[in-house]
């Protein structure tokens, strides 16, 4: 499906962590997208080539909702500050859908190796699986620097409670976690073998900062995953 331009109206801003926020928009026309796709948020409609104010973000909601949600780790960038400054009823333009790193209904076993804000398309995929009551075995390994930076933790735990086929492993890299459910360390071969022992039998999605995506892709190949079973997405201007 070709990307189109949509006008969207902000209806809600949701704080996910101290530095991460979600932005929900209402649209007059529905955006048909596949879980895992992304869009372009256009804050400078007069100059759509403005890469500083028009950036790509993942859908952080399943298709079929009466809103579209995107989520961003807010920085001091002009785009972040303009996004943060939006108020209810403010309008923006969205170009969507974009991207081919998507979930398909016939995937029976999947895994996610995720870092930080790369969790956003995972939310879209897992919500979709739960909403459609698909019989998909999903294992998520989600790495952050500390527990406070785990975005969507409440929502992820709720999805796992609704679907026994969703298994989540939280990994923190900088300090021993207070919660025993969290694993201290980095995503490496040992961690994957202990927590996703059948990863070579799964379709593996890797989202996150480009360097992490590259490292996880190499790791999967070293473990024995087929190259065609590894799905990655690098965002322009991530």
Identify the structural domains of the chain with CATH numbers, from first to last.
Answer: 4-98 (2.40.30.10), 109-232 (3.40.50.80)
Q: How far is CA 8 from CA 64, 67, 68, 127, 164, in A?
A: 16, 9, 9, 22, 35
Q: Is 107 a residue whose pLDDT tops 80?
A: yes
Reported as a pLDDT band with limits 50, 70 and 90, residue 143 is: very high
**How confident is the model over 110-122, as pLDDT tens digits?**
999 999 999 999 9
Q: How far is CA 34 from CA 49, 87, 238, in A?
A: 25, 28, 21
Neighbours of 24 (CB within 10 A): 21
DSSP H helices in 139-209? 153-162, 189-195
Q: Is 236 a residue whose pLDDT tops 50?
A: no
Number of H helices and number of E strands within the chain? 5, 12
How far is C-alpha 235 from the geometric centre of its chain's CA atoms?
12
Reported as a pLDDT band with limits 50, 70 and 90, residue 237 is: very low
Burial of 156 (0-12, 13-18, 19+ CB in 10 A): buried
């Amino acid at each position: 499906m070709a990307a189109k331009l949509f006008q969207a109206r902000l209806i809600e801003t949701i704080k996910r962590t101290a530095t991460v926020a979600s932005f929900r928009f209402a649209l007059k026309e529905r955006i048909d997208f596949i879980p895992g796709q992304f869009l372009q948020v256009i804050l400078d409609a007069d100059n759509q080539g403005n890469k500083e104010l028009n950036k790509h973000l993942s859908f952080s909601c399943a298709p079929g909702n009466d809103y579209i949600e995107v989520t961003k780790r807010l920085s001091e960038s002009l785009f972040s500050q303009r996004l943060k400054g939006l108020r209810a009823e403010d309008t923006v333009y969205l170009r969507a859908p974009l991207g081919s790193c998507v979930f398909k209904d016939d995937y029976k076993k999947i895994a996610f190796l995720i870092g930080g804000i790369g969790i956003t398309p995972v939310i879209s995929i897992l919500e979709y699986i739960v909403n459609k009551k698909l019989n998909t075995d999903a294992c998520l390994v989600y790495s952050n620097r500390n527990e406070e930076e785990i975005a969507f933790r409440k929502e992820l735990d709720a999805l796992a409670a609704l679907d026994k086929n969703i298994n989540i492993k939280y990994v923190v890299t900088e300090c021993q976690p207070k919660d025993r459910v969290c694993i201290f360390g980095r995503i490496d071969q040992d961690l994957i073998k202990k927590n996703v022992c059948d990863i070579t039998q799964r379709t593996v999605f890797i989202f996150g900062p480009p360097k992490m995506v590259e490292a996880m892709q190499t790791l999967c190949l070293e473990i024995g995953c087929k190259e065609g079973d590894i799905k990655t997405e690098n965002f322009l201007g991530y």
